[in-house]
Structure 1
Amino acid sequence: MNRTLTAIAALLMAGTAQAGIPQLNATCPGNLEVHADEGGPIYINGKETQLKKFNDNYFEAKGEGVTLSLSINPDGSPSLSYTGKHGANGVCAETKAGAASTASPTAKAEAACLAAVAKSTNVEQAKLKVTDVLTAEAGVGVTIEVPGADAPWSCLSSPEGKVQGASYTGSEGAL
């Protein structure tokens, strides 16, 4: 039994060590808004880019006349820079955690869900963190982490930001 548990633990640790495109929102000089869904794609000013993977820790995204360079640091944090026309280049800054980027096609749904969960939990919206965004015919599913909660909140919204429902995914009374 110990061998089985050891093997499972090793597989879980191997899975967490694997890098890839994280979910992120960033701004770059030159009025560039960047959004990446976990695993990709990457958007610049709301438009999907052409993505090239060099390895598990380095990606380039081309679009809107610029090339974004995304590298994943050993601690898992992203580093994002850009190169544009006429030698323009710079370092991009991640936007505040929990903030929905206006560059994302799901930005309105994310913002509406953050507001709905903030209202339901009486927690400041700035303290909430979007941890997952999924799109489907039914709408945009947004998973939100609330400080102090044992489980995340789940929200369903239209892409235009009309919330259809927000609920706690854990047991009642665990919040």
Structure 2
Amino acid sequence: MCKLAIAMCLLAAAGTSSAAIPMLNYTCPGNLDVHADEGGPVFINGKETKLKRFNDNYYEASGAGVTLSISINPDGTPTVSYTGPKRANGICHVASSASTGPAPATARNSKPNAENACLAAVAKSTNVARNNLKVIDVMTAEAGTGVTVSVPGANAPWSCLVDRQGRVERAMYTGKEGGR
């Protein structure tokens, strides 16, 4: 338990420079999928980008010939737009699980393992029975699988990053402290 507490503190300290990046699951014109767990990093089509922080409310993520502009609105919601090759540009929209398209076979096979591992980790962290938790989103990326879980009574969902072997690398509450 002490090792877990130390690891979570180190993760929190490591993410302080980009702590304002919210969880992102967006699609942009041109078949671009954008994903980030709260605090970053940001991925475009599963590849990690270079993140540049201008201030607490504006970031740019660059990679694969694309630059994402990420603005944090006063209510905390993000606005994401992109600029790509040959003057391509546009506004990105929140992705639904169904709109992310078919995942590669290896990712499809790892989703149930990732979901089960995340549900177990969140159940343990929240002391809520696993059968009362609900998976609300699953996003696969090169770094692993991101799973978002709804917890009864919580003001915001929990988020897990699960590696390809089914190990939970990080399980964290996405809301403000005190919400569970």
Tell me the TM-score normalised to structure 1 length.
Answer: 0.56
Residue 114 of structure 1 and its aligned partner are, at CA, apart by 3.6
Aligned with 1:121: secondary structure? helix
Aligned with 1:34: secondary structure? strand
Aligned with 1:51: secondary structure? strand
Residue 79 of structure 1 and its aligned partner are, at CA, apart by 0.3
Q: Which residue of 2 aligns with 1:66?
A: 66
Equivalent runs, 1:1-175 vs 2, <5 Å:
20-96=20-96, 111-112=111-112, 113-114=114-115, 117=119, 121=131, 125=135, 128=136, 144-147=149-152, 157-160=162-165, 162=166
Structure with bigger helix share is 2
One-letter amino acid of the structure 1 residue matched with residue 131 of structure 2: T
Larger radius of gyration: 1
- Please list the CA deviations of residues 73-103 of structure 1 after superposition, one character each: whole Å capped at 9, or x if unmatched: 0000000000111111011111238x98989
1:35–1:101 CA contact under 8 A, matched in 2: no
Matched-pair identity in %: 57
Closer, same or farther in 2 for the Cα pair 1:23/1:31, shift >3 Å? same
Cα distance between partner residues in 2 of 1:109 and 1:150? 31
Residue 48 of structure 1 and its aligned partner are, at CA, apart by 0.9
Cα distance between partner residues in 1 of 2:41 and 2:160? 22
Structure 2 stretches of 5 or more lacking a match? Answer: 1-18, 120-129, 169-180
1:110–1:142 CA contact under 8 A, matched in 2: no
1:42–1:49 CA contact under 8 A, matched in 2: yes
One-letter amino acid of the structure 2 residue matched with residue 46 of structure 1: G
Closer, same or farther in 2 for the Cα pair 1:109/1:69, shift >3 Å? farther
Aligned with 1:68: secondary structure? strand
One-letter amino acid of the structure 1 residue matched with residue 41 of structure 2: P
Aligned with 2:86: secondary structure? helix
Tell me the TM-score normalised to structure 2 length.
Answer: 0.54
One-letter amino acid of the structure 1 residue matched with residue 37 of structure 2: D
Structure 1 stretches of 5 or more lacking a match? Answer: 1-18, 165-175
1:51–1:59 CA contact under 8 A, matched in 2: yes
